[in-house]
């Protein structure tokens, strides 16, 4: 028992302030502040999107996912595939007359006229920056014998990427019950498209001036605010129909890490994307797993001036790993048991597969690191 009245008063105040301080700390702040291997834990943000995903561009590793395999309607993010096929045709600088069927197409437009001469490059810029449905229709007719044949190629192309839950019925993304995808598939598609340097330049352009007659719609400004607003934003495509809602595929790069973010049926599409990419950049970083040109294996050589040849990666192998967390990495080599001379440096030898915590992540090519000449027997 405390007899000193001053001490009793001091003790009462101290207890009051301790209780008040505890009541003022919200549960969320306490949860977020818990260290994980010395690094504060950051919780994923809440987003308005029906489905969403964030992947790292180089490896395809999933960094965030919400209903990523759920069926959704892509709207104009469809045009990523339309643009990629146009670019892969190798005819960007060819000038075509606009077919009549491309004039007056429903929805957003670059106001094409029947018979107008325009380059495929200008059509692709109009497709990606202004989301022209007429440009999509024109591209489909110019690249293939019909829109139906072009759409078949779209479906074949995305299946070759591994997007198995996607099906298109038109080149623009106009709503149709049989025109669907998933956030996961759209991330796969966007990752493949962004590997194409021409596509990446077009998808990330802030504006483009088309080579069209005076009086025609020539100045194309990108509708995708990611390239204007987000620090490190690099592309790629927005979409909207009443049935699909707002859809956005966004990309960005900071500190050597490239992200693909997909939000589908997202009322707050841009804010959702910015929060998810901020989260990924805050929680993950690219880590060097293996140095470039490091000797990893020696393969026996038959009929050579050396009895073995060294194998390794040409460039450093980088992985997106969670900051402050030690993840279990497993390496599996896919290499021949022996090789016959001659062998040349930088000739591909096989692959290295990487698994994180038992789950397949990616593979990297391995190369012979030296020349081995053959010898007469």
Are 129 and 219 contacting, i.e. CB atoms less than 8 angstroms apart?
no
Catalytic residue among 51, 61, 66, 76: 76
| Token output for 229 | 């607003």
End-to-end CA separation in angstroms for the chain: 101
Calpha distance 236→216 (Å, rounded):
25
Output Rg (C-alpha) for the chain, integer angstroms.
Answer: 27
SS3 state at 320 = strand
Cβ–Cβ under 8 Å, residues 354 and 319: yes
Distance CA 71, CA 116 (A): 39
**DSSP string covering 244-311:** TEEEEEEEEEETTEEEEEEEES-TTHHHHHHHHHHHHHHHEEEEEEE-TT---EEEEEESBSSSEEEE
Say whether the peptide bond before residue 91 is cis (omega within 30 degrees of 0): no
User: Is 137 strand, coil or helix?
Assistant: helix
Distance from C-alpha of 19 to C-alpha of 76, rounded to nearest angstrom: 55
Does residue 109 have an active-site annotation? no
Q: Is 131 an active-site residue?
A: yes
Q: Supply the angle between the helices 183-193 and 147-161 in degrees, to the nearest 10.
A: 90
267 and 245 Cβ atoms separated by less than 8 Å: yes
Of 61, 66, 79, 275, which one is the catalytic site residue? 79
Say if strands 297-302 and 339-340 run parallel, antiparallel, or are unpaired. parallel
State the Cα–Cα distance between residues 165 and 145, nearest whole angstrom: 26
Q: How far is CA 186 from the centre of its chain?
A: 8
Q: Is 89 a catalytic residue?
A: no
Q: One of 51, 108, 109, 131 is an active-site residue; which one? A: 131
Rounded Cα–Cα distance for residues 119 and 126 (Å): 11
Q: Which residues are catalytic?
A: 76, 79, 131
């Amino acid at each position: 028992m405390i007899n000193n009245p001053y001490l009793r008063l001091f003790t009462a105040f101290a207890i009051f302030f301790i209780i008040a301080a505890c009541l003022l700390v919200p549960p969320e702040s306490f949860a977020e502040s818990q260290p994980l291997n010395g690094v504060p834990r950051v919780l994923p943000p809440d987003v308005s999107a029906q489905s969403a995903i964030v992947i790292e561009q180089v490896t395809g590793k999933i960094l965030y996912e919400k209903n990523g395999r759920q069926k959704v309607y892509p709207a104009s993010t469809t045009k990523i595939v339309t643009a990629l096929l146009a670019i892969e045709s190798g005819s960007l600088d060819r000038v075509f007359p606009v077919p009549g069927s491309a004039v007056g197409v429903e929805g957003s437009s670059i106001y094409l006229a029947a018979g107008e001469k325009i380059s495929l490059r200008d059509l692709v810029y109009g497709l990606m920056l202004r989301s022209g449905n007429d440009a999509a229709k024109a591209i489909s007719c110019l690249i293939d014998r019909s829109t139906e044949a072009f759409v078949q190629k779209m479906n074949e192309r995305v299946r070759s990427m591994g997007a198995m839950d996607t099906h298109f019925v038109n080149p623009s993304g106009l709503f149709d019950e049989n025109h669907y995808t998933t956030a996961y598939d759209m991330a796969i598609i966007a990752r493949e498209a962004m590997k194409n340097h021409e596509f990446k330049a077009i998808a990330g352009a802030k504006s483009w001036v088309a080579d069209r007659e005076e009086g025609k719609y020539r100045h194309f400004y990108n509708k995708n605010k990611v390239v204007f607003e987000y620090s490190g934003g690099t592309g790629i495509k927005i979409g909207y129909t009443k049935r699909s809602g707002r859809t956005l595929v966004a990309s960005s790069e900071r500190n050597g890490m490239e992200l693909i973010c997909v939000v589908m049926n997202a009322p707050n599409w841009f804010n959702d994307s910015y929060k998810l990419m901020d989260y990924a950049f805050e929680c993950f970083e690219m880590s060097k797993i293996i140095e470039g040109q490091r000797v990893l294996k020696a393969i026996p050589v038959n009929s050579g001036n050396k009895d073995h040849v060294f194998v390794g990666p040409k460039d450093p192998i980088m992985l997106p790993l969670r900051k402050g967390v030690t993840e279990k990495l497993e390496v599996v080599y896919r290499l021949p048991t022996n090789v016959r001379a001659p062998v040349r440096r930088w000739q591909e030898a096989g692959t290295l597969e990487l698994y994180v915590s038992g789950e397949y992540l990616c593979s990297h090519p391995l190369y012979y690191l030296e020349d081995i000449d053959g010898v007469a027997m």
